Amino acid sequence: MAQRKPGGWGDSLKTVIYAALIAIFIRTFLYEPFNIPSGSMIPTLLVGDYLFVSKFSYGYSNYSFPLSPNLFQGRIFGSLPKRGDVAVFRLPRDPSIDYIKRIVGLPGDSIQMQNGHLFINGKELPRTPDGSYTTEGDDDGPPMVLKKYIETMPDGLQHPILKASDDGPLDNTQVYHVPPGYVFGMGDNRDDSLDSRVLDAVGYIPVANLVGHAEIIFFSIDARYPWWEVWEWPFEIRWDRILHTIH
């Protein structure tokens, strides 16, 4: 009796199927890759950064699964972010769009900007000058020199922010009262971020829309150049950002 030789097309097909199932499992329950398309989180995240987001940090919702099937309501094994977490979420007004911001407000918090300073529950967050930061130029204009600060969250977490001035359109706001079941997100590039301060564009973020916690940058490339120009990668890759943890 002839025996089937190992390594035929059947074994290759099974290997592909197993690999696909493992990839789907990892992407759904463990880590999902994202890339940064805008400068709203500079200097923490740059355009052209590629990062892994932990899906298990805040539990699982419909948005944790491919194609976001409407399987259940709320979150399974859910937990709230910490103030200061950098989180990916689905935009409330258009859940097909992924957004990434720093979570500054939790359910029940009051948030306000006064003269460019962030207040949480009536208390101003300390910020310490940390020199300047020059943004990369793009098609819309030349590079800009911004003021850099280190901001300290109520629990002591510190992170950088950028400010062009303290009298911009979103530097003096109403008091935002974060409803139950929602969080409030802002960009670290405070004067160039469309975030929860703009209620009709982003607004309060439902906890169910959270996708995960941004953990680590696994690749970074200067996005001013086409990604497919692989021969330019040695000169365009930001080597110092690879495996950089996100705070």
Gyration radius from the chain CA atoms: 21
User: Burial code of 77-90, b = ≥16 C-beta within 10 A, e = fewer?
Assistant: eeebbebbbbbbbb
Q: Catalytic site residue 40?
A: yes
What's residue 141's pLDDT? 62
**Residue 226: what pLDDT?**
67
Q: Is 61 a catalytic residue?
A: no
Q: Which amino acid is at 87?
A: A
Does residue 212 surpass a pLDDT of 90?
yes
Residue 55 has pLDDT above 70, yes or no: yes
Report which of residues 217 and 1 the model is more confident about.
217
Strand partners, 158: 152
% of the chain beyond a pLDDT of 90: 68
Catalytic residue of the set 55, 101, 147, 163: 101
What's residue 17's pLDDT? 82
Q: What is the mean pLDDT of residues 191-205?
A: 97
pLDDT at 2 over 50: no
Give 7's pLDDT tier (boundaries 50, 70, 90): low
Average pLDDT over residues 181-192: 97
Higher pLDDT, 212 or 78: 212
Q: Is the pLDDT score of 4 beyond 60?
A: no
CB-side exposure of 145: number of CA atoms within 13 Å?
A: 3
3-state secondary structure the chain: CCCCCCCCHHHHHHHHHHHHHHHHHHHHHHEEEEECCCCCCCCCCCCCEEEEEECCCCCECHHHCCCCCCCCCCCECCCCCCCCCEEEEEECCEEEEEEEEEEEECCCCEEEEECCEEEECCEECCEEEEEEEECCCECCECCCEEEEEEEECCCCCEEEEEECCCCCCCCCCCCEECCCCEEEEECCEHHHCCCCCCCCCCCCEEHHHEEEEEEEEEEEECCCCCCCCHHHHHHHECHHHCCEECC
pTM assigned to the model: 0.87
Which listed residue (40, 61, 196, 220) is catalytic?
A: 40
Confidence of residue 56 (pLDDT cuts 50, 70, 90): very high
Give the pLDDT mean for 93-106: 96
Angstrom distance (rounded) from CA 11 to CA 22: 16
Per-residue pLDDT at 6 exceeds 60: no
